Amino acid sequence: MKKANPILTALSAATFGFFIGISFPLQMAPQLPCYVFPWNGGGGGGDAANSTLRATGMLSRFWVVGNNNNNNTAAATEGKATTAPAVVHPNATSPAIIKPTGAERLPPNIVVSESDLHMRRLWGDPRQDTPVRKYLLTMTVGLSEKANVNATVHKFSDEFDVMLFHYDGRTTEWDDEFAWSKDAIHVSARKQAKWWYAKRFLHPSVVAPYDYVFLWDEDLAVDFFDATEYVRIVREHGLEISQPGLDITRGKKTYDITTRRSNNTSEVHKNTTGGPGNCPDVHRRPCSGFVEVMAPVFSRKAWACAWYMVQNDLIHGWGLDLNFWRCVDDPEEQMGVVDAQYIAHRGLPTLGRQGNPETGGGGNVRARAWQEFSEFKTRIRDADRAAETERRREAAAALLVATPPTPSPPRSK
């Protein structure tokens, strides 16, 4: 009997296996979703999560698991807070189609993760609605300041959506007197502060279409201000967080850096020394990288960070301005005061008047603001310490992995 050629035998077996495979396809492994962690490649947020991601390197941004639902259930059972990362659908035609948390059950092409505050018609083709405006002006107002608010709104062009937060509960009266009010968004919640509204109604995903968001008080005199020119200046100078200069001849001023430089040859200034506000060092807040909470203007990217820093329960927002620098890459270059477009802060205690007279009125309102300021400083300090501890732990762990153990000397016989 002639011996079979081993090469022909192997080829025959491979061919047979190929035909079996295409005739009876088997799924050898389950379709595993790919989770993409949020990533900030060196952005100015400074949060602990981003620090962790930066330390773990490129490969750790992608993680494949077998059953996400089981993992979430286990974490919840243990009492641990779990935030599911965004999911890239296995059948997505483009890697850019990312489903945010909560949308995992939906087909990726139907997911709309962002919104806006632009009002729409109830009729007609949605594609023929007026386009979303480029900028957003928000103000926290009471009807007693309607004349000043009206003057302010008229300094902003049709490129701005307008949103008013009403702390006195009076909204319909504005429509009776001002035509622009009918196109504005009105939010009413009695006796609340600006940052209370901002936390609840200005989520980054809602204001994402706007290039700049203005979060202004109601008591600002705008005789020498033009919003369109202001936007041009901050864009030209690369300011991510800014404010108009304060008129040196009138109004209330707390910090020297926010005072307008009338003899400045530039349109903006970014630092100062001396004057009110205790500024001995140009490289420290509030001597540079500083914008006050009174009339800040945020780029889309900066607000996406600042919103997360606004505390849910600390509604006065005192201390936020001393920490806005965390939300830009280079505070001394990307934060500034616009001298060419300036305002006057009238400093009216309109919010303080919302306190209950029987319990001390405005005095107690201001007392709580100071208490919140102290609490916020404590929270920031503790968060920084925790982040530094975690950074050191990760650095030590990385060093341990990178340094192989020293081999023991051979034993003598």
Nearest to residue 285, comparing CAs of 317, 318, 241, 255?
A: 255
Quickly state the pLDDT bin for 262 (edges 50, 70, 90): confident
Residue 256 and residue 277 in contact, taking contact as beta carbons nearer than 8 Å: yes
Q: Are 207 and 297 in contact (CB under 8 A)?
A: no
Cα pseudo-dihedral 385, 389, 391, 397, rounded to 10: 180
Residue 238 Cα distances to 181, 212, 232, angstroms: 32, 12, 10
The 10s digit of each residue's pLDDT in 120-154 is: 889 999 988 888 899 999 999 999 999 999 999 99
Q: What is the pLDDT of residue 3?
A: 54
Is residue 87 pLDDT above 50, yes or no?
Answer: no
Asked if the model's pLDDT at residue 28 lies above 50, the reply is no
State the average pLDDT for the chain.
78
List domains and CATH numbers for the chain.
34-110 (no CATH), 126-355 (3.90.550.10)
Query: 89 vs 177, which has greater pLDDT?
Result: 177
H or E segment to which residue 135 belongs: strand 135-141
Over 70: is that where the pLDDT of 399 sits? Answer: yes
> Tens digits of per-residue pLDDT, 362-394?
788 888 999 999 999 999 999 999 999 999 999
